Structure 1
Amino acid sequence: MDDISGLTELQAAINTMAVDLKKSLPDIVMASADVIEREIEIRAPERSGNLEKAIDTYQQTTDTQVTAIVQVDDSSPNQKEHYAIFQEFGTSKMAARPFFRPGIEAGRDKASNILIDGILGVIDEHAG
């Protein structure tokens, strides 16, 4: 039986690809989250414009994971944009005017495609 040759080179190529993917992933995840952020901002009520300005994206990166969080800054009780939750879900005296959840839904496919294309792009760089 013949020995399989090239396994060492294959392992080295996979390791290099993994390093490159780890370097690229934060930018890919943020590009995806930015789509969601823009879709939410488009739908935010425009009374003063403060709510739209308060929508922001943050990234958390560890050795094993990259996470992007889109949120309304200053939205906890007694903060400047605390009314965001009332806009989204309504109150007993005010109808809901959802903007956050519809923004997520509107950007979901494009954001997913950015993630997929970004990851496949890194893989493709190493495939040839």
Structure 2
Amino acid sequence: MAKRNSFSVENPEALTDVLRNAAVATSESALRQGALAGARIFYDEILMRAWPHFRTGNLQESLLIVYVPEDSVTGALATYSVTFNQKAWYARLLEYGTSKMAAKPFIRPAFEAKKGQAAIAVINQIQEVVSSGS
């Protein structure tokens, strides 16, 4: 005769809270807040590394954080990009150089320096949203 296994839930409210928090963690709002927290880390570092190139202020004023809906998946992935608007069209030339000017990279080094910190910021922000339940 087969023995039946059974279980009991000691604290059913805790299980409900876990499930509710899991739903919050995967919500569009939580994902966007987390991704934005990571993008802000890169934004600040790029701004700091670009400082030697600020002559007119265009580069500083043109740095943006933008949501990229084409690369995002609702409820699964939120993508933000740190970029420059057209007023600072020359940012690419500074980063990669030209045939007449050596490269003065500041975007890639900023990414390499802060990618770990940005990942931690994303995790911390999502955990904060989950713990607050909003």
Q: Using structure 1 for the length normalisation, give the TM-score.
A: 0.77
* 1:14 shift after superposition: 3.8
- Other-structure match for 1:77: none
- 1:65 is aligned, of 54, 77, 84, to 77
In the alignment, the residues of structure 1 paired with residue 76 and residue 117 of structure 2 have an alpha-carbon distance, to the nearest angstrom, of 24
- Asked if structure 1 preserves the Cα contact closer than 8 Å seen for 2:33 and 2:126, the reply is no
**Greater relative CO, 1 or 2 (CA 8 Å, sep 6+):** 2
- Structure 1 portions without partners, runs of 5+: 75-79
Show the counterpart of 1:117. 124
Alignment RMSD (CA, Å):
2.4
Q: Provide the C-alpha distance between the structure 2 equivalents of 1:121 and 1:90, rounded to a whole number of angstroms.
A: 41
- Determine which structure has more spread, i.e. the larger CA radius of gyration: 2
Structure 2 residue 30 is matched with structure 1 residue 30: no
> Which whole-Å CA distance do the structure 1 matches of 2:89 and 2:124 have between them?
36
CA distance in 2, matches of 1:67, 1:4: 42
Match for 1:70: what amino acid? V
Query: Normalised by the size of structure 2, how large is the TM-score?
Result: 0.74
Which runs of no fewer than 5 residues in structure 2 stay unpaired? none
